[in-house]
Structure 1
Amino acid sequence: MVMASNKNRYKTQGNVAYKVEVNEKNKVKKVEKPKKSTNKNIKVKLKVLRFILFTFALSIFTLSRFVLIYNMNTELRELKSQVAQVQKENQNLQVSLAVKNNIKKIEGEAVKKYNMVNPKAEEVKYVDVKMLCSVEDKKVTAYKLFQKFVGFIH
C-alpha cells in the first residue's frame, strides 16, 4: 500500500478546518552579497602600483640629470677660475720679460759684470749671410728645368 504524503493536506482541529501550507521553497534564505571580483581589484592595484613606480623612476632620473648638470657647472667654474689665474701669471711673466728685455739694462749689466765695451765704427764688419736652402730654391718648375737644359746646349 502506498501512502500519500500529508504535507499539503488540510489539518483539522476541532470542528474548524484550516489549510496550513508548509512550503519549503518559500523559506527565507539569507541573501548573499555578490562577491567582488578579486581579479579586478588586483588589476587595479597593479595599475596604481605601476603608475607609482613609473613616477618614482622618472623623478629619480630627473634628479640624477640635475645632479649631473650641477657637477658640470661646478667643474666649469673651477676651470674658469684656473684659466683666470693662469692668465694673471702669464701677464706677470710678460711684464717681467719686458723688464728684462730692456736693451739699455742688458747693456749696462754687460759693461758692469763682464767689462764689455762698445765696438768702434772701424772695428765693425758686416757680412751678408744667405741661408743654405731657401724655400724658393726648393721649388723647381718645369720652365726652370727647361732653361737649364737649353743653357747647356748653348
Structure 2
Amino acid sequence: MTKFMGRRQWVAGFAVPVVTLLLAGCAVNGGGAGSSDDDQATLLQRAQAYWALVRSGDNVGAWKYEEASKDPKATLEEYLKRGGVAYEALEVRDVRSVEGDRAIVNVWMRYSVPILRIKRQEAVAEDEWRRIDGVWHHVLRRSVMFSKDAK
C-alpha cells in the first residue's frame, strides 16, 4: 500500500506543476492573441478617425495622426500645402497585415482630383501605418497618384 501511495504522490507532485505550466502557457498565448486583436482594433479605430478627418477636410486635425508630425523637421504648414484630392467617400475596411511596428490597412475610397479633371475614381489603397511610442501614425505617401514603389 505504501508503494502505491508513493507513486500516486509522485505523479501528483509531477503532474500538478506540469499542468500548471501548460495552463499558464495557454493563458500567455491567449493573452498574446488577444493583445494582437486589441492592437488591430486600436489601429482600425485610429485609421477610421484619421480618414474621417481627411474626408471632412480637417487637415489640421489629421496632422496629429501623421508620422510626419513626430518629425521635428516637418511642419504643419508644409503638410497643409499638399492636397488636391477631394474624397467623396472613404471606408476603412480591415487590417491587412501587422509586422512589428508597421501595418497596412485597406481603405476603399472614391475620390476626384479637380486640378487634373479626374472625377469619381475608386480604389482600395494599402494605407501604411507605423507605431511610434506605442501609438499608430499614418505614413504619408509622397504622391497620391503613384505608389512609393513606382519609378
TM-score strictly above 0.5: no
More helix by proportion, 1 or 2?
A: 1
More strand by proportion, 1 or 2?
A: 2
**Highest Rg: 1 or 2?**
1
TM-score, scaled relative to structure 2 = 0.34
TM-score, scaled relative to structure 1 = 0.34
Higher relative contact order (CA 8 A, sep 6+): 2
